[in-house]
Amino acid sequence: MTAEIRNWVHIGSLEDIPRQGARCVKSGDMTVAVFRTATDDVFALEDRCPHKNGPLSQGIVHDGCVTCPLHNWVIALETGAAQGADEGRTLAFPVRLENSRIYIDLSYSHEAV
């Protein structure tokens, strides 16, 4: 069994993000949107809709998804996958919450099937 190595980076606290909202962090040339749901779950996606690169951080967070503000594509927060008849995916990053502190592994992205 191989141990999974993660590079967790502290990016802020849960209180920094409004419920059903997002905040952005930079990782090199990429912007990552960190989302907080109504139930205080936290997710991180590249801040780019797979359709026309719309800013997902400015979208509406609902039901484990975010709706892109440009063309209303619905993207799953956990996987970054477009929902419904739309096809495409944005990068999703592992997130860990410890005592209201948010950690993200920006070196690793996953695409769940």
User: How many CB atoms sit inside 10 A of residue 10's CB?
Assistant: 11
Fold of the domain built from segment(s) 9-103: Rieske Iron-sulfur Protein (2.102.10)
Strands 60-62 and 42-46: what pairing?
A: unpaired
In percent, the amount of the chain with pLDDT more than 70 equals 91
Domain range list for the chain: 9-103
pLDDT digits (tens, 9 = 90+) for 71-102: 999 999 999 999 999 999 999 999 999 999 99
Task: Return per-residue pLDDT of the chain as tens, 113 residues.
Answer: 444 557 899 999 999 999 999 999 998 899 999 999 999 999 999 999 999 999 999 999 999 999 999 999 999 999 999 999 999 999 999 999 999 999 999 887 665 43
Q: What pTM, to 2 d.p., does this model score? A: 0.90
